[in-house]
Chains A and B, each alone.
Chain A
């Protein structure tokens, strides 16, 4: 792990992003406590900057992400085993070129939104990928811990442990993880009866960020629309940009908070109405964390040992008292 990873990431990114003038003050302050480790990171996606790379066939971030990741997906077996008693095989291996939605081969794509706001017509280009939620149900309730939230904030699926049951996608508010059937550990167990492949999604380029480097999409963007840095700095920066453009944030409270802040000059409900949504095409709706409904009962579980202990000791004490009282007169 590099020693100056944090300030390294943030300074480089921010200086590149804003010419270094305004930002040096917020981000330039090296935080010695965090300098030793990567710490919690966050990313910022500035919709006032992303233009969808009009001069290229495919936007630069998508190209970079696919170049890094596509080869890591193993070829599925042929034929892919049928599922019993029911279940749909999802095979994207012959459609690797699809870049207008999330697939097991495309972890980042660009949504386009034509919106009218304040009497002005605007076209927005919106990079979409995993939000790397603060308390991601996709990871916490994976039955095999094949999906895990790293201390950097990155939420990462281990393709060697994943069974492809897609529980993570079911509980993800944005339908992010995408399945490729016919690969993975389930093939070696009961392929027709349990599991259905491996789930894939953005991993925030964990291998790079732990070394203090940037995700490849961040580095690839010619307009610095994508930023990464220490979490508090990114949150502060997002708020500042929002204020200065009189804009809006998405991702700071959604699903209980995330590591991905969208900053936009246009309200997100308008964007949401203008984009194509559906499977593999995430929305911009407000999202409450569904797992919050289990927090109260879960806390009761954590207190149950104490309750049992206290009750056990009290009952034993009561029983001892009773028997010592009875013993006297009766003999």
Chain B
């Protein structure tokens, strides 16, 4: 995994460039699939969507099907890439762990101010559960969609039973997919989660935030305790305080969401101890707002 601590910048690399490409390929093609999926129903004309500038094609079933297909190519290829790439590299951070259901209830309580947040790994337990749910929804959408596509081209007289299944699985999972997307958006609006948002654009999150909230993950990334030589902090070039742009992935644009992050200098205190993984949850850390 490419996750690592960028001490000089006070950041943690959370998502590799490949993950960012995967995410946005799936997100953009997925949203296009939702839109063109809706246009497969005979509603665009009735609901004046055909009169919206830029959407005049929405009533053309052949055209919108072609867009639905084009988005599917990206979506399916990206999803299968994701599965095989991460499975072969043994990436497990997103897979549900034992106790996730119980823990995620506690996390939701903590969002409501009714409980202490437990220490997190790379992902929150609800992220792992949501991932598993999304995998099932997407797998069903892909399989049923492939059956429907095959029928359109090669087998219009495919068994009625199979087609009814494929059609209704596709239709019902479409609804779940849209609901899951809204839940996904709701999750990133929740205040304690917001420091993660930048990661899906730049790949990085703030080290102080990660130390505080994802100590179990940081513990895996921190050098082993038996390293007295200060390899890291000898980088004195910390004066350009606002300079947060990760050098590695130059291709990625800086997030437009900078208002989230107070333009604070890279956290002083953190930098100085690259030492053992302290569980610094309770550390009175001035840098991050609650």
Contact = CB atoms under 8 A, between A and B. Distances in A.
The answer to whether A and B interact is yes
A298 interface: yes
A316 B164 contact: no
Interface stretch (A22-30, A115-123, A141-149): A141-149
B62 A293 contact: yes
A135 to B, nearest CB: 5
A259 to B, nearest CB: 11
Interface string A293-324: 11101111110110111011101110110000
A36 interface: no
A171 B61 CA distance: 8
B160 interface: yes
Q: In the complex, which of the residues B65, B74, B86, B150 has the most CB atoms of chain A within 10 Å of its own CB atom?
A: B65
A167 B42 contact: yes
B214 to A, nearest CB: 23
Contact of B80 (A86, A87, A149, A305): A305
B113 to A, nearest CB: 39
B81 A315 contact: yes
B72 A301 contact: yes
A85 B156 contact: no
Contacts of B146: 301-302, 305
B73 A304 contact: yes
A301 B69 contact: yes
Interface in B184-208: none
A311 B81 contact: yes
Interface string B70-102: 101110111111111110110000000000000
B18 interface: yes
Contacts of B42: 143, 165-167, 170
B92 to A, nearest CB: 14
Contacts of B167: 143-145
Contact of B77 (A294, A297, A307): A307
A313 B85 CA distance: 6
B241 interface: no
Nearest to A166: B42
B149 interface: yes
B46 A87 contact: yes
A312 B81 contact: yes
Interface in A169-197: 170-171, 194
A304 B152 contact: no
A170 B41 CA distance: 12
26 contacts: A85-B47, A140-B156, A145-B163, A148-B160, A149-B156, A150-B157, A150-B160, A171-B62, A294-B66, A294-B152, A297-B73, A298-B152, A301-B76, A302-B149, A302-B150, A304-B73, A305-B146, A307-B80, A308-B76, A308-B77, A309-B81, A311-B77, A312-B80, A316-B89, A317-B88, A319-B89
B162 to A, nearest CB: 10
Contacts of A305: 76-77, 80, 142, 146
Nearest to B165: A145
Interface string B140-166: 001001100111110011001001101
B103 interface: no
3 shortest A-B CB distances, which residue pairs? A308-B80, A312-B84, A165-B42
Given A308-B76, A316-B86, 13 more contacts: A135-B156, A140-B156, A145-B163, A150-B157, A290-B62, A293-B62, A294-B65, A295-B153, A301-B76, A301-B149, A304-B73, A313-B88, A319-B89
